[in-house]
Amino acid sequence: MCPEKKQQAAKEADDKSSELTTTQYLIETIKQLQADNENLKLELKKTKGIPSGKIGIAFIIPGALALIFSILNNSTILSFIGLGLVLWGALFFFIKPVRYVQSSLLDSTAISTYTTIDRIVKDLKFKGKSYYIPPYPKEVYLPEYLKGLKETVVFISADTGGMPSIEELAKSKFLLENPNGICVAPPGLGLLTRFEKEARRDITKLQLDELCESLEPIIVENLQLAKEMEMKVMDKQVYVRIFDSIYKSLYTAEENLKSIHSLGCPLVSAIACTLAKATGKMITIQRDSVSPDGQTIEVWFQFVEG
């Protein structure tokens, strides 16, 4: 190879590496700016927000005074004003939110669970997938020694082959020997209960299409866990796209969580639990992808026969 060509190739490689570095730098800058933006929004909310309790008091006191004066002066107009003010004051007390927390706190509380699972998996040198095992329906009678089958669990296998037997699952054990693996409670188990409450129907009696249709409004509108969501049923697969999930920062956390990709964030995990419970089939997260800005999460669930 002539020296000119060598120089050109070296220059091209340099250009490519500098381009990659610039792209990475830009992505990191965008992420930081987005985080700054969120923090500034929160600060603005804090400074702007007046607690509804104070507004309630500000309405009730003049309302009560107006009512007293209306009785003293026998004035209908004053009593109308007083009643109105008292009602609105009471309403401000009655409809004020019980207690809302910042969504970033949810990530902070969830990180420890994933870190623990990461440590367990790393320590036991497990390389297999995670399988969401459906529970037995509530109305089915099971003897005491099989009660463990009514719990939704995730089986993290040591390698890729084999599923635990019913006897093993019924014992509600953590460490399973045949096949090797561990059984843990899914991170989205609590959310699954909320989904069931919001659906107001037995999800085990729903068809897969109906379930997908009813899950979207529950997640986006009722519980407001994400801004947008799309669910598609394919052959032996379910595709889910979540935009602006409240758990999105778990995927881009500094801790570089590995179990988040096999178990999914609490929202993805809850969807997997719901799918497993509704279909009665085992579910695994085949793959997931996060957009560079961290806003969109795509997950492909796969049904496992066995």
Partner 1 sequence: MNFPMSMSDISLWLAVMAIILLITSELISSATEYSRNIVIEKNRLRLVALALGIGFMATVVMRIFQPF
Output the smallest distance, CB 50 to partner 1, in A. 13
By beta-carbon proximity to partner 1, the closer residue of 45 and 236 is: 45
> Per CB under 8 A, which region of 56-64, 65-73, 118-126, 249-257 contacts partner 1?
65-73
Residue with tokens 């992505």: 27
Contact call for residue 96 and partner 1 (CB under 8 A): yes
Residues 178-237 that bind partner 1 (CB under 8 A): 220-221, 224
| Three-state secondary structure call for residue 48 | helix
> Per CB under 8 A, which region of 68-76, 156-164, 229-237, 248-256 contacts partner 1?
68-76
Q: According to CB under 8 A, which one of 59, 60, 63, 70 is a site residue for partner 1?
A: 70
Q: According to CB under 8 A, which one of 9, 44, 71, 140 is a site residue for partner 1?
A: 71
Distance in angstroms (rounded) separating the CA atoms of residues 157 and 132: 11
Q: According to CB under 8 A, which one of 79, 180, 296, 302 is a site residue for partner 1?
A: 79
Contact between residue 183 and residue 154 where contact means Cβ atoms under 8 Å apart: yes
Q: According to CB under 8 A, which one of 75, 115, 252, 295 is a site residue for partner 1?
A: 75
| Three-state secondary structure call for residue 184 | strand
Q: According to CB under 8 A, which one of 30, 40, 57, 87 is a site residue for partner 1?
A: 87
Element (DSSP H or E) covering residue 234: strand 228-234
Contact call for residue 306 and partner 1 (CB under 8 A): no
By beta-carbon proximity to partner 1, the closer residue of 26 and 87 is: 87
Residues 44-63 that bind partner 1 (CB under 8 A): 52
Contact call for residue 33 and partner 1 (CB under 8 A): no
Give 3-state DSSP helix, strand, coil % of the chain, rounded to 5. Answer: 55, 15, 30
Output the smallest distance, CB 74 to partner 1, in A. 5
Nearest partner of 160 among 180, 144, 176, judged by Cα:
180
Asked if the peptide bond before residue 97 counts as cis, ω within 30 degrees of 0, the response is: no
Residue with tokens 């990709």: 261
DSSP single-letter state for residue 140 = S
Nearest partner of 128 among 162, 155, 153, 160, judged by Cα:
160
